[in-house]
Structure 1
Amino acid sequence: CSFLLNIYAEKGKGKINASMADCHEGHLPLFKLAISLGSFAVGPESMTNDAGLSYYGVISIGTPPQSFKVIFDTGSSNLWVPSIYCNSAACNNHAKFDPRGSSTYRQNGRPLSITYGTGSMTGILGYDTVTLFSILASSFCLSQTEAPFMQNMQADGIFGLAYPSLSLSSATPVFDNMMNGGLINLNLFSVYLSSNNQRGSAVTFGGVDTNHYSGSITWIPLSKELYCQITVDSVSGNGQAVACNDGCQAIVDTGTSMIVGPQSDIDNINAWLGASSQNGEYIVNCSNIGQMPDVTFNINGNQFTLPASAYVYQVQYSSCITGFGATGGNMWTLGDVFLKQYYSIYKRGQNMLGLAKAR
Structure 2
Amino acid sequence: MFWTLIVCVLLAISWNNASAQSSFVLPLRPVELPASTVLVRGRYAQLASSTFPNDTFVREGLHTYTHAAASLQIAPLYGSVSRVGMYATEISIDGQSFVVSVDTGSSSLAVPTTECLNCPPQKHLLRVDRATTVPCTGSTDPIGDDRPVAFQCDREHSGMCDRTGGCTFVIRYGDGTRLAGRYLAGMVGVAQSSVPLLFGGIQDASGPEKDVFGAGIDGMLGLAYRGLSCNPMCTTPLFDALVERRRVPADMFSLCESDEGGRLVLGGPDPNVRESDIVWTPIVHDLYYNVELDHILVDGQNVGIVSRQSAFVDSGTTMIVLSSRAYATLRDYFYQHHCQVPYVCPGVPDQHTIFELEFCVQYEPQHLQQLPTLTFTFRGNVRLRLSAEQYLLRVTDADGQPFYCLGIMQDRKLGDTFGIEAILGLSWLRNFVTTYDRAHGRIGFTPARGCEVLQDVAEVPPTAGNATDATDESVPDVDAESVSDKSGFWARLHSLLTPTVLIVIIGCSAVLLMAIGVWIIIRCRRYRSVSSGTPDSRDTGAEPAARASFLTKQPRPEGDALLPSHSPV
Contact 1:232 1:299 in 2 (8 A): yes
CA deviation map 1:63-111 (0-9, x unaligned): xx111101111100000001111122x43231111124xx962433212
Structure 2 residue 191 is matched with structure 1 residue 133: yes
CA deviation map 1:127-181 (0-9, x unaligned): 1111112111222211112234425432111111111111122111111112222
Using the size of structure 1 for normalisation, the TM-score is: 0.84
- Residues 336 and 129 (structure 1 numbering): CA distance in 2 closer, same or farther, change over 3 Å? same
Partner Cα separation in structure 2 for residue 126 and residue 214 of structure 1: 39
The alignment partner of 1:193 has SS state of: strand
- Residues 305 and 177 (structure 1 numbering): CA distance in 2 closer, same or farther, change over 3 Å? same
Match of 2:43 in 1: 7
Partner Cα separation in structure 2 for residue 290 and residue 256 of structure 1: 27
Structure 2 residue 188 is matched with structure 1 residue 111: no
The alignment partner of 2:134 has SS state of: strand
Partner Cα separation in structure 2 for residue 213 and residue 338 of structure 1: 21
The alignment partner of 2:444 has SS state of: strand
Match of 1:247 in 2: 308
Partner Cα separation in structure 2 for residue 184 and residue 224 of structure 1: 23
The alignment partner of 1:9 has SS state of: coil
Partner Cα separation in structure 2 for residue 237 and residue 186 of structure 1: 38
CA deviation map 1:15-70 (0-9, x unaligned): xx869xxxxxxxxxxxxxxxxxxx732100111124251111100112xx111101
CA deviation map 1:105-126 (0-9, x unaligned): 2433212211111121111111
Q: 1:294 aligns with which of 352, 358, 373?
A: 373
Contact 2:195 2:242 in 1 (8 A): no
The alignment partner of 2:272 has SS state of: helix
Q: Which amino acid aligns with 1:351?
A: G
Structure 2 residue 333 is matched with structure 1 residue 333: no
Contact 2:252 2:266 in 1 (8 A): yes
The alignment partner of 1:91 has SS state of: coil
Partner Cα separation in structure 1 for residue 86 and residue 357 of structure 2: 20
Q: 2:98 aligns with which of 68, 83, 98?
A: 68
Q: Which amino acid aligns with 2:295?
A: S
The alignment partner of 1:92 has SS state of: coil
Q: 1:258 aligns with which of 319, 322, 334?
A: 319
Partner Cα separation in structure 1 for residue 359 and residue 276 of structure 2: 33
Q: 2:111 aligns with which of 81, 88, 112?
A: 81
Partner Cα separation in structure 2 for residue 213 and residue 257 of structure 1: 27
Contiguous gaps of at least 5 residues in structure 2 = 1-33, 53-68, 136-165, 335-343, 346-352, 454-569
Partner Cα separation in structure 1 for residue 181 and residue 90 of structure 2: 21
Contact 1:166 1:226 in 2 (8 A): yes
Contact 1:281 1:325 in 2 (8 A): no
Contact 2:251 2:437 in 1 (8 A): yes
Q: Which amino acid aligns with 1:138?
A: P
- Residues 202 and 85 (structure 1 numbering): CA distance in 2 closer, same or farther, change over 3 Å? same
Match of 2:88 in 1: 56
Give 1:277 deviation, angstroms. 6.4
- Residues 352 and 151 (structure 1 numbering): CA distance in 2 closer, same or farther, change over 3 Å? closer
Give 1:295 deviation, angstroms. 1.1
Give 1:283 deviation, angstroms. 5.3
Structure 2 residue 124 is matched with structure 1 residue 92: no
Structure 2 residue 438 is matched with structure 1 residue 348: yes
Partner Cα separation in structure 1 for residue 359 and residue 376 of structure 2: 20
Partner Cα separation in structure 2 for residue 18 and residue 281 of structure 1: 35
Cα RMSD (Å): 2.4
Q: Which amino acid aligns with 1:292?
A: L
Q: Which amino acid aligns with 2:234?
A: S
Match of 1:36 in 2: none
Partner Cα separation in structure 1 for residue 190 and residue 275 of structure 2: 28
Contact 1:347 1:354 in 2 (8 A): yes
Q: Between Structure 1 and Structure 2, which shows a larger proportion of helix residues?
A: 2
Partner Cα separation in structure 1 for residue 109 and residue 47 of structure 2: 16
Match of 1:310 in 2: 390
Query: Higher Cα Rg: structure 1 or 2?
Result: 2
- Residues 278 and 325 (structure 1 numbering): CA distance in 2 closer, same or farther, change over 3 Å? closer
Contiguous gaps of at least 5 residues in structure 1 = 20-38
Contact 1:122 1:143 in 2 (8 A): yes
Q: 2:217 aligns with which of 138, 145, 155?
A: 155
Q: Which amino acid aligns with 1:223?
A: V
Partner Cα separation in structure 2 for residue 213 and residue 191 of structure 1: 15
Contact 2:91 2:190 in 1 (8 A): yes
Partner Cα separation in structure 2 for residue 99 and residue 202 of structure 1: 30
Partner Cα separation in structure 2 for residue 351 and residue 163 of structure 1: 11
Contact 2:98 2:219 in 1 (8 A): yes
The alignment partner of 1:233 has SS state of: strand
The alignment partner of 2:278 has SS state of: strand
Partner Cα separation in structure 2 for residue 170 and residue 284 of structure 1: 46
Matched positions, count: 329
Give 1:298 deviation, angstroms. 0.6
Identity of aligned residues (%): 25
Contact 1:85 1:144 in 2 (8 A): yes
Q: Which amino acid aligns with 1:190?
A: S
Using the size of structure 2 for normalisation, the TM-score is: 0.54
User: Comparing both chains, which one has the higher relative contact order based on Cα–Cα distances under 8 Å and sequence gaps of 6 or more?
Assistant: 1
Match of 2:330 in 1: 269
Contact 2:107 2:237 in 1 (8 A): yes
Match of 1:40 in 2: 70
Contact 2:40 2:319 in 1 (8 A): yes
Contact 1:82 1:91 in 2 (8 A): no
Which region of structure 1 is more displaced relative to structure 2, 144-153 or 2-11? 144-153
Partner Cα separation in structure 2 for residue 291 and residue 279 of structure 1: 20
Contact 1:270 1:282 in 2 (8 A): no
The alignment partner of 1:57 has SS state of: strand
- Residues 214 and 107 (structure 1 numbering): CA distance in 2 closer, same or farther, change over 3 Å? closer
- Residues 223 and 152 (structure 1 numbering): CA distance in 2 closer, same or farther, change over 3 Å? closer
Match of 1:184 in 2: 248
Q: Which amino acid aligns with 2:382?
A: N
Q: Which amino acid aligns with 1:135?
A: S
Give 1:211 deviation, angstroms. 2.2
The alignment partner of 1:97 has SS state of: coil
Q: 1:142 aligns with which of 180, 201, 208?
A: 201
